[in-house]
Amino acid sequence: MNLIIIGPPGSGKGVQSSLISKYFKIAHISPGEILREEFEKKTKLGIEAEKYWRNGNLVPDEMILKIVKKRLKQKDCKKGFILDGFPRTLNEAQKFLRFSKLNNVVLLDIPDKISIRRITGRRECSKCDAIYGPEIPSKKKRICDKCSGKLYQREDDSPNVVKNRLKIYHKSINPIINLFKNKRLLAKIEGSGSIQDVFNKVKEKLTT
Ligand code: AMP
């Protein structure tokens, strides 16, 4: 099962991908997360890419395509994968289809207002990457419920950067949607409900 999940910042791609990956026993691949890890490790790729994502701009297609291609060759992708937040340009989508099979694309749709509220209130665990936010608050302030790790705000989740990310999303997403729609791969899902409600809708779309 080879899947893609796309949607605006804060649409729940990360949370839903993680549920999908556990449910269908497939690999969860987030190029954004890979870039953040590379930056933490201070690799050349990580340092180069950070110049783009810090301000909410897209990292060049070729850099992302290289990361995705390499990651898909790993053993845990044999049974399938969910690509979270890829593609973000038509070029990425077209090139991806040249080297990989694809079964379904989930588009999580939410209004900009909810996107901004969720993203600016989002906190991530520095140890286990668990995600919290206005709709999923942690029990203790700034402490992860799961592993007691410290919660932090992603640098690109600040209000100004989020506005830029949303602007870029709206500018680039339509041709990608049309491409997948024409190939009858697209499942559009309203993403503003609860995590479980959205996941139930996703499961239904992916299994019927
Ligand atoms: P994400 O964690 O998916 O929100 O991604 C964080 C940042 O990484 C984005 O704002 C982009 O700068 C960069 N990025 C992630 N995925 C892609 C992609 N498919 N194409 C270009 N840039 C990306």
Per-residue pLDDT of the chain (208 residues; tens, 9 = 90+): 999 999 999 999 999 999 999 999 999 999 999 999 999 999 999 999 999 999 999 999 999 999 999 999 999 999 999 999 999 999 999 999 999 999 999 999 999 999 999 999 999 999 998 999 988 899 999 999 999 999 999 989 999 899 999 999 999 999 999 999 999 999 999 999 999 999 999 999 998 7
**Which of 129, 123, 131 lies closest to 158 in space, CA to CA?**
123
Q: What pLDDT score was predicted for residue 60?
A: 98
Q: How far is the CA of 208 from the centre of ligand 1 (A)?
A: 30
Q: What pLDDT score was predicted for residue 135?
A: 87
Catalytic residue numbers, as ranges: 13, 88, 122, 154, 165
Q: How many angstroms separate the CA atoms of 28 and 74, rounded?
A: 12
Write the CA distances from 32 to 3, 36, 38, 72, integer angstroms. 17, 6, 10, 15
Q: What pLDDT score was predicted for residue 59?
A: 97
Are 85 and 31 spatial neighbours (Cβ–Cβ below 8 Å)? yes
Q: Ligand 1 pocket test: pick from 5, 52, 169 the residue with the most ligand atoms within 8 Å of its Cβ.
A: 52
| 201 CB within 6 A, ligand 1 | no
- Helices 31-40 and 44-53, axial angle in degrees (round to 10): 120
Q: What pLDDT score was predicted for residue 163?
A: 93
Q: How many angstroms separate the CA atoms of 26 and 29, rounded?
A: 10
Q: What pLDDT score was predicted for residue 127?
A: 93
pTM of the model: 0.93
| 156 CB within 6 A, ligand 1 | yes
Q: How far is the CA of 30 from the centre of ligand 1 (A)?
A: 8
